[in-house]
Chain A
Amino acid sequence: MNRITRHALAVAVAISLGATVLAHHSAAMFDDAKVVEKKGIVKELQWTNPHVWLQVVVEESGKKTEWSLEGGSPNTLSRQGWRASTFKAGDVVTVRFNPPMKDGSAAGQFVGAKFDADGKTIGRWQ
């Protein structure tokens, strides 16, 4: 399945991922009333249970920070059109996520992403 087909499928079946992804622990540590957007380069997609993790390096004011964005289980995401190869190292993406509730750490709950190369989106992106 090529990337465009994968993305089309993902978009077609994408639902409110932010509200349903965290099947293994409470989402209380993330503020789902807020959505943060950052542009960066994908370092890695950890396609693992209980959650996938999208590692994105963001450069701001000359400083690079690696963000850890938590998604659903690969089981659920695969049924929503994701694949282990959906994100590749080096992909330039704009990501949206719910930030941590209190401490401002470089983590978040994945909401959606837009690929710089072709403008395709995945997850919740309106």
Chain B
Amino acid sequence: MTRLLSAAGVLAGAALFWAIATSGIHAQGSRLTLPDWTGIWAMQGPTVFDRASVQPPNGRAGEPGVRETPPYTDEWEARYRRNIELVRQGKFPDPVSTCGTPHGFPRIMNVPDVYEFAVTPAAVYVIAENGPNVLRIYTDGRKHPAAEDLWATYNGASVGHWEGDTLVFTTISLKGSKDSDVIVDRTGLVLSDASRATTRLRKVDENTMEAQMVIEDAKALKTSWTVTKRYVKQPPGTWAWDYACAENNRNPIDASRRTLTLGPDGKPLDK
């Protein structure tokens, strides 16, 4: 009888241990099996943020007259139109031209060069070679910090969880654009400091990653705005490199907001 009780105790203990262990894993938002997002990836298409609505259809960000159609409020639509006019005049400089600030979210999902998506049990890191930029998404079960513990940043604060092999994360506490100091793309697209997004990041197939962003902005948008970006896997063995933007930046911005070209002696070539 003693032996029987002992065996039952061992079994009960093992079951309890397993229950605690697995509940602990789930409580931390972690998983026993994580998806394999290994590789080097490059965004599909040019850096127009919402390619589904861009006009003209093949328009590129930075070309005069190119625009998208986010569900802006009247006030922010007017602001966008002013920015488009500044693009036309060559006076809508890209803030990253200073080599001093990151692109910020959601623009980090919309940059050239290559990406890596690093999956760990407690966090996922979106590493953009251009910038460089890192988007940290914590998946360890934590919540967003309390409002009094937050301050607006370029990439905000992101927490996420796994739904199967899809990472679902919410990003809050973004700086938004004050004086076009943070932009979404070079058409003049901007969001406010009330913007936030829920993103579904997944591997569509072996060679394709997809980020579907549902963006909300109580100041700038009338309704939510869904934008999908895709990333194509690069050949095996592809390298990502340092992108030291300040190494030899020959394109400063002058007081009139023009982007200059410096000669090899460091003096402006612009006349």
Contact = CB atoms under 8 A, between A and B. Distances in A.
Contacts, number: 113
A96 B16 CA distance: 73
Interface residues of A, number: 33
A51 B271 contact: no
A70 B263 CA distance: 11
Nearest to A78: B241
B121 interface: no
A27 interface: yes
Interface stretch (B85-93, B135-143, B170-178, B194-202): B85-93
A66 interface: yes
Nearest to B90: A28
A45 B238 CA distance: 23
A100 B250 contact: no
A1 to B, nearest CB: 15
B257 to A, nearest CB: 11
Contacts of B111: 23
A25 B99 CA distance: 10
Interface in A22-40: 23-29
B248 A76 contact: no
B60 A28 contact: no
A86 interface: no
B245 interface: yes
A11 B218 CA distance: 49
A63 to B, nearest CB: 16
Contact of A50 (B114, B238, B239, B243): B243
A117 B92 CA distance: 42
Contact of A51 (B90, B93, B250, B258): B250
B22 interface: no
A46 B241 CA distance: 17
A54 to B, nearest CB: 11
B111 to A, nearest CB: 7
Given A19-B60, A55-B264, A25 B259 contact: yes
Contacts of B160: none
Contacts of B244: 49
A49 B97 contact: no
Contact of B251 (A25, A100, A106): A25
B113 A23 contact: yes
A27 to B, nearest CB: 6
What 3 pairs between A and B have smallest CB-CB spacing? A48-B248, A25-B97, A105-B269
Given A75-B240, A105-B261, 15 more contacts: A24-B97, A25-B96, A26-B93, A28-B92, A46-B264, A50-B251, A68-B263, A68-B269, A70-B261, A73-B130, A75-B243, A78-B241, A79-B239, A107-B261, A107-B263
24 contacts: A20-B46, A20-B112, A23-B111, A23-B113, A25-B94, A25-B251, A26-B93, A26-B259, A27-B62, A28-B62, A28-B64, A28-B90, A29-B259, A49-B248, A50-B249, A53-B264, A68-B250, A68-B269, A73-B243, A75-B241, A78-B239, A79-B239, A104-B271, A106-B263
Interface of A: 19-20, 23-29, 44, 46, 48-51, 53, 55, 66, 68, 70, 73-76, 78-79, 100-101, 103-107
